[in-house]
């Protein structure tokens, strides 16, 4: 498996979950426009405040992460690439 450098924009429920998942096998940088969230993450603390039941958050994250992974699989298995 190739090792990719990936940037994830946003460190909310979905962004932070995706960044954590992808960082297991790739170099990941998460960015956010809220300085307090960045400081918390750099201090190894979660910026996510659970004001809704955790099972709802989990279901939303799993659905969005599944969609994201399907799109990644399609992109990585295609013969085309995007240059930025």
Within 1-84, residue ranges assigned H as helices are: 13-22, 35-42, 54-77
pLDDT at 78: 58
pLDDT for residue 84 is more than 50: no
41: number of Cβ within 10 Å: 16
State pTM to two decimals: 0.58
pLDDT tens digits, 13-34: 788 888 888 888 889 999 999 9
pLDDT exceeds cutoff 60 at 75: yes
**Non-local CB neighbours of 23 within 8 Å, separated by 6+ positions:** none
């Amino acid at each position: 498996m190739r090792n990719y450098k990936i940037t994830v924009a946003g460190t909310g429920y979905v962004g932070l979950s995706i960044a954590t998942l992808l960082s297991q096998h790739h170099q990941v940088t998460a960015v956010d426009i809220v300085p307090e969230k960045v400081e918390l993450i750099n201090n190894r603390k979660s910026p996510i405040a659970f004001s809704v039941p955790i099972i709802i958050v989990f279901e939303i994250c799993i659905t969005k992460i599944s969609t994201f992974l399907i799109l990644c699989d399609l992109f990585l298995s295609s013969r085309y690439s995007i240059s930025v």
